[in-house]
Amino acid sequence: MTAGLLNAADRPWRSGAGCVIVRVRITPKSFKDTIDGIETTAEGPALKARVRAVPSDGEANAALLTLLAQWLGVSKSSVRLAQGGKSRVKSVEITGNTEELEVRLATRLASLS
């Protein structure tokens, strides 16, 4: 499977300079940490993520970054919050080989179906 199998308009990510920027809609205080697929938001398609952490003192944001790193099999140091620190819809920057990251995203999403 390649990243090209998802239409660009349907992807919750875009390529940046040496990174992929992923739009994520987070639900804190969930019963488990998980990525559930793609959800439509006012900003466009976003990964639907749930974390157990509460949204205070950045706990939910930190849990989200850890979850994404584990889900994609990348180091936690390559994942950082780019925008939306206090919003449910966030932009997360994942540094690395953009082509490889896009394939990983598409593959992981396809495995959820």
Least confident span in 49-53, 79-83, 108-112: 108-112
d(CA 30, CA 49): 10
d(CA 47, CA 65): 13
Q: HSE, CB side, 13 Å, CA atoms: give it for residue 108.
A: 23
Note the pLDDT of residue 90. Answer: 97
pLDDT digits (tens, 9 = 90+) for 12-42: 999 999 999 999 999 999 999 999 999 999 9
Which amino acid is located at 108 in the chain?
R
Percent of the chain residues topping a pLDDT of 70: 94
d(CA 39, CA 53): 20
Range of the domain at 15: 3-112
Please report the sign of the dihedral spanned by the C-alpha atoms of residue 69, residue 80, residue 26, residue 89: negative
- Alpha carbon dihedral 71, 21, 5, 111, in 10-degree steps, equals 10
Note the pLDDT of residue 10. Answer: 86
**Distance, C-alpha 93 to centroid of its chain:** 9
Widest CA span in the chain: 38
Note the pLDDT of residue 101. Answer: 96
pLDDT digits (tens, 9 = 90+) for 65-78: 999 999 999 999 99
| Overall domain count for the chain | 1
Note the pLDDT of residue 42. Answer: 93
